Amino acid sequence: MLFVKTLLSVSAFAASQVMAATQMVQVGQDGGYSFAPNTVTAGQGDTVVFQFHASIHNVVQSAGSDAAGACQRGAFGTAIMMDGTSYTLPINSTDPVYIHCGPHCQSEGMVMVINPPSANTFAQFQSAATGQAASSSSSSAPAATSSAAGKSDGASLGLDTPSRWVQYGAVGLSLLVGAFFV
């Protein structure tokens, strides 16, 4: 009976992992100062993988989406990453996450948005980062803000715990081993 419960638990875990998506973001591709794509929509349980193409960039959560917080460090940030390396960010909320490259935020406007709340959020965030007025097709577009809804802390992103794969893998392995020794 315990074996059947263990098997069902492992099957449920495997099914949940199949539904999670991985979004790929290229950082500094072709020597540029950009994240490509510069906006990503990711659901709860998805991951965003940043692939680095130059050894001069990093990934930093911004303290806010307005001019005061756009290039300030928020809940997490990587060191300068080497060419060919990657950084995986687990997404545990569908709240917007504003990202910048520390060395190139203000000078190059190297920013991106995960789960942007509106179509012109990226342009407004990039303008806030560089200190320039945003250009938009509509004068009634809402301004980006640094409200609590626009920020995510490290805990809601799952950054204060080990990787979910390690956690769930260890639990699954423990259950399987336990089933054989009962």
Which pLDDT belongs to residue 19?
Answer: 77
Beta strands across the sheet bearing 111-114: 39-40, 111-114, 97-100, 60-62, 73-77
Q: What is the CATH number of domain 22-153?
A: 2.60.40.420
The residues spanned by each domain of the chain are 22-153
pLDDT in tens, 116-155: 999 889 999 999 999 986 554 333 333 332 223 333 334 3
Lookup: tokens for 127: 């303008």
pLDDT digits (tens, 9 = 90+) for 70-83: 999 999 999 999 99
Does residue 178 carry a pLDDT above 80?
Answer: no
* pTM metric for this prediction: 0.65
